[in-house]
Amino acid sequence: MEVLDDCERGVRDLVLNKWQERLLHLALKSNHGSDESSIAGCFISFVEGYCYSTREQFVWDWLKYHQHHHGTGYGRTMRDHFSLVAHIRRHRDKYPDLNGKIRKLAEMAADADSFGNACLALMYPAYCYAKTIDEDPSEFVRYMTGFTHSHPDAMEAMSRLCLFIENPETILISIEDSGAEYDAVFRERFCSGHATASNTPVATVKCAMKEAEMHVVREAMRIGGDTDSVLATAMLLYKLRQKFHRIQTLQRVLESEKL
């Protein structure tokens, strides 16, 4: 048995090392690291010595800086975002004032279904910066990250991470195991509106329904993706567990009333 256990550990370590090598290879595709490291690095460079005045001016100055200094490892949605910023900068006659620029950015940000895209990578450095300028950190982070096509589940994950920074115990919410089985009907009802849900195996969600919160994060990591996608996927699974539990509770109440 000990030999078998050692063999199993060896295989597991080998698979883990191969996975880590793959992640490193993907990160090195960019001359500036991954998109997350590029985003965080750009932001830190930008705020050094920046003279803060208003949120609106800060956001526009930051987006201009990011568009000009970003790395090469970004996906299509962020590349579209950079093109939009460049378009607004070129057409000053169409967007002569700051409010017009902000409105256009907000309009386009709501017109895409990215599953992370910068909000989670920016969350902690932006949170720390907000404290230095006497802004409410959570509100400041949510405002400034709302211009890059961020998916609602990613934004909610970001809000929970802000709460976790302020009080680590707030994220440890226990959800009673309903004991019910996950099926295709449930997936169709709650996953159809999420771009990443199609990559989430039914067995994964079924398992996440019954396990502790930390297991949800592990499952999201196993599914894969970059940092933003992993945390957003975890947020989706977490929300699915909550909805599933509420449905099962309601069903039990209705059945008891019939009796």
Where do the structural domains in the chain lie, given as residue ranges? 1-30, 35-171, 184-258
* pLDDT per residue as tens, the chain (259 positions): 444 444 444 444 444 455 555 555 554 444 444 566 677 788 888 998 899 999 999 999 999 999 888 776 677 778 888 899 999 999 989 999 999 999 998 888 766 656 665 667 788 888 889 999 999 999 999 898 888 767 777 777 777 778 777 776 554 443 333 333 444 544 555 445 545 554 554 455 555 555 556 666 666 666 656 656 666 666 666 666 666 666 566 666 666 666 5
Provide the pLDDT for residue 15: 44
Predicted confidence at residue 180, as pLDDT, reads 39
Q: Which token pair is 124?
A: 């902690």
So what's the pLDDT on residue 207? 55
What pLDDT, on a 0 to 100 scale, did the predictor assign at position 162? 81
The pLDDT of residue 100: 92
Q: pTM for this structure?
A: 0.62
